[in-house]
Copies of this chain bind each other. A is one copy, B any other.
Amino acid sequence: MGRTSDAKERLIEAMIELIWTGSYGTTSVDHICEKAGVKKGSFYHFFESKTACALTAIEYSWAEHRKQLDQTFSPVNAPLDRIWKCFADFQREQREMQEKHGRVLGCPIHSLGAEVSTIDDKLRDKLQEILSQFIRYYESAIRDAHYQGIIEAPDAPALARILFAYGEGLLLHARMWNDLSHLNEMEAGARRILGVPDSES
């Protein structure tokens, strides 16, 4: 079986962090290796290319994130509460990242997508897939809310896309302005989009 190692995991986590705090272009294989405490030869022992490593890292990161989203969007929770809890999770995560790295980092999938979608087909396809999956969380919450008569939303997928575009836009602004307070109005904006008065849940 040969010896074992956690170098691959360290490389994955290093790449995620470097892409998130910087960009794909500024994240060099050398930097990843340095941060992970791994020599470049080992990098190419585990990954056939920089792109392949990024693909694995994105998949890994999304798999981690899904665990929490599955909890947040549990059908046990009231439909709109799922969305508000998701926003609260966003805020918490962004706050933690600001405390850790001194900057609000926004959504890595979106920042990466903006950078590479015209350049790298494989990365773009993977990012599309992840974002499509994410929208489904909003979609089912919206559909449930509609069926329960909480909101008027006959076209749940369309409304989910609107809500999603808005949320991602806000996260990007928070990153650009390095300011968490942009996220405070997230729920207020979502209420307007969903057509929920402030007084109601």
Contacts and interface: CB of A to CB of B under 8 A. Distances in A.
Contacts of A194: 192
Interface stretch (A64-72, A78-86, A113-121): A113-121
B117 A176 contact: yes
Identical copies in the complex: 2
Dominant SS among interface residues on chain A: helix
A127 interface: yes
B124 A176 contact: yes
A192 B165 CA distance: 13
A24 B22 CA distance: 13
A185 B169 contact: no
Contact of A158 (B128, B177, B185): B185
Nearest to A27: B25
Contacts of A114: 106, 110-111, 114-115, 172, 175-176
Most-contacted residue by chain B among A26, A114, A164, A170 (CB, 10 A): A114
Nearest to A172: B114
B173 A185 contact: no
Interface residues of A, number: 47
Nearest to A173: B165
Interface in A146-199: 158-159, 161-162, 164-170, 172-173, 175-178, 182, 185, 188-189, 192-195
A103 interface: yes
A170 B24 CA distance: 22
A192 B192 contact: yes
B26 A119 contact: yes
Most-contacted residue by chain B among A118, A176, A178 (CB, 10 A): A118
A166 B185 CA distance: 13
Contacts of A127: 176
Nearest to A182: B161
A166 B166 CA distance: 4
